[in-house]
């Protein structure tokens, strides 16, 4: 009996300290079961999470409903290129909410450019932790207001177009509220030269074919002239020789009774057989020459076609897996690129900023702000393993789905399909090992899509 009592006492969990007080005061209403079961935490353990910084998801997945996405403030941004001799941009940040919103505005600077004019208290920084320089503003947007910012850049290579995307984030700089892009094209920029096809008389296959045809015609003409000359002596040797000197069989003389005309019976001489005219064939050197010319033309045309096809190949593209539908497109940051089903726009790429938690394997997280627009009339599902970041050495890593879920406040962006005609703006995380950041991103909607490639170095 003593052993059984000890076992029962060991099996009963210890009651919290607040339980006796609750039973001693029956006038107070009893707290809900959840509050009784969970022990009270001290106030020092509860640390507030800054805006936009998510908590680490639990190790064991919960069986409850899917997390509800956090409400996004109605903050939008619009970017326009200025018509100035140097690259300039006008940035309008609008807050449509009824309360003030604190934001972080980032404008990416293209490679080889530098900010010369920044208004609104912005600050230009170099490529520290990011793939390119940027201009940042920390703003407190009043309710229902529009803030206008201006920037001017200088580029090393004048006469080229400059694209500078801009995004509005929360105070942490992780989740984007909105992004926009604009491309500055200078007035003195010469239009791109249009490639026109060469005239027919300057194309190597046409020249080779014309040369071969000329040789064939020349050989045929020479053979026809030689045959005509050989037929003339044979034609003049035939015929009869008469009183006028023509050649031919001699007629028989009449037979008389005597006299000077009676010379007896004269048998006619048989006519000589006409020699058979042999059919002349073209000389061997002519046949061999024409055949060699035709063969040279065919080989030359095939070699030129193969050379043109090899020259048109792009050897700088990275290999793809199952890229069977459509053709791949390559662009820079802030440039919308279309593929089979989606239109991808990469606005920013940064690595090791300290905002995201470190990877468990010692890797460095790289966060890319990507806009995805569904161009089809049906919803489309995409997968994280098909989104890749290529390193300078040629290796690639797929999107880190766990880190991407953390950056999106616990929401699995790959589990939810993109509706038809809808545009989503979200951060993608790639965990890389080593000190060099990725140089190119490969994004695609499906396994059989050629996808797009974005240069981020």
Give the residue-averaged pLDDT of 290-308. 76
Model confidence at 270, pLDDT cuts 50, 70, 90, reads low
Residue ranges of the chain that CATH labels 2.60.40.1240: 329-455
Model confidence at 355, pLDDT cuts 50, 70, 90, reads low
pLDDT number for residue 269: 64
Residue 351 has pLDDT above 70, yes or no: yes
DSSP symbols for 29-89 = PPPPHHHHHSPPPPGGG--PPPTT-PPPPPSSPPSSPPPPPPPPP-EEEEEEE--SSS-EE
Model confidence at 94, pLDDT cuts 50, 70, 90, reads very high
Residue ranges of the chain that CATH labels 2.60.40.290: 75-184
Higher pLDDT: 130 or 173? It is 173
pLDDT number for residue 145: 93
Model confidence at 16, pLDDT cuts 50, 70, 90, reads very low
Q: What percent of the chain has pLDDT over 90?
A: 31
Q: Is the pTM of this model over 0.85?
A: no
For domain 75-184, is the CATH number 2.60.40.290? yes
pLDDT number for residue 90: 94
pLDDT number for residue 224: 80
Residue with tokens 């000589």: 272
CATH class (in words) of the domain with range 329-455: mainly beta
Residue with tokens 């440039």: 335
Cα gap 65→408, rounded to integer Å: 17
Overall size of the chain counted in residues: 457
Give the residue-averaged pLDDT of 256-267. 54
Phi and psi angles of residue 141, each rounded to the nearest 5 degrees, phi first = -80, 120
| Listed residue (376, 395, 371, 351) closest to 452, CA to CA | 371
């Amino acid at each position: 009996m003593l052993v059984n009592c000890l076992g029962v006492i060991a099996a009963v969990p210890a009651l919290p300290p607040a339980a006796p007080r609750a039973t001693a005061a029956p006038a107070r209403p009893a707290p809900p079961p959840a509050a009784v079961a969970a022990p009270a935490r001290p106030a020092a353990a509860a640390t507030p999470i800054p805006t936009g910084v998510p908590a680490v998801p639990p190790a064991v997945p919960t069986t409850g409903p899917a997390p509800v996405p956090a409400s996004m403030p109605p903050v939008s941004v619009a970017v326009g290129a200025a018509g100035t001799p140097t690259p300039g941009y006008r940035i309008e940040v609008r807050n449509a909410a009824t309360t003030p919103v604190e934001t972080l505005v980032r404008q990416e600077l293209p490679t080889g450019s530098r900010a010369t004019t920044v208004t609104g208290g912005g600050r230009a920084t170099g490529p520290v932790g990011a793939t390119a320089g940027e201009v940042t503003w920390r703003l407190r947007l009043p309710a229902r207001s529009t803030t206008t910012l201006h920037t001017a850049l200088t580029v090393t290579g004048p006469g080229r177009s400059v694209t500078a995307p801009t995004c509005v984030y929360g105070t942490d700089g992780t989740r984007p509220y909105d992004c926009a892009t604009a491309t500055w094209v200078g007035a003195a920029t010469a239009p791109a030269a249009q490639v026109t096809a060469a005239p027919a008389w300057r194309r190597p296959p046409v020249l080779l074919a014309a040369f071969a045809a000329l040789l064939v015609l020349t050989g045929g003409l020479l053979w026809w002239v030689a045959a005509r000359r050989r037929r003339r002596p044979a034609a003049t040797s035939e015929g009869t020789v008469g009183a006028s000197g023509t050649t031919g069989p001699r007629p028989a003389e009449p037979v008389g009774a005597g006299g000077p005309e009676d010379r007896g019976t004269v048998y006619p001489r048989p006519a000589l057989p006409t020699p058979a005219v042999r059919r002349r064939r073209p000389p061997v050197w002519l046949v061999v020459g024409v055949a060699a010319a035709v063969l040279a033309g065919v080989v030359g045309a095939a070699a030129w076609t193969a050379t043109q096809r090899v020259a048109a190949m792009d050897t700088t593209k990275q290999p793809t897996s199952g890229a069977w539908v459509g053709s791949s497109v390559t662009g820079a940051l802030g440039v919308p690129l279309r593929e089979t089903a989606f239109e991808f726009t990469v606005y920013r790429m940064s690595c090791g900023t300290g905002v995201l938690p470190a990877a468990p394997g010692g890797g460095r997280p790289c966060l890319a702000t990507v806009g995805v627009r569904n161009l089809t009339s049906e919803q489309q599902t995409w997968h994280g393993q098909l989104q890749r970041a290529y390193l300078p050495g040629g290796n690639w890593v797929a999107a880190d789905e766990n880190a991407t879920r953390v950056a999106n406040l616990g929401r699995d962006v790959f589990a939810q399909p993109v509706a038809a005609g809808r545009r989503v703006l979200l951060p993608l995380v790639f965990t890389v090992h080593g000190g060099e950041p990725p140089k190119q991103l490969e994004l695609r909607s499906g396994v059989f899509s050629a996808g797009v490639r974005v240069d981020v170095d």
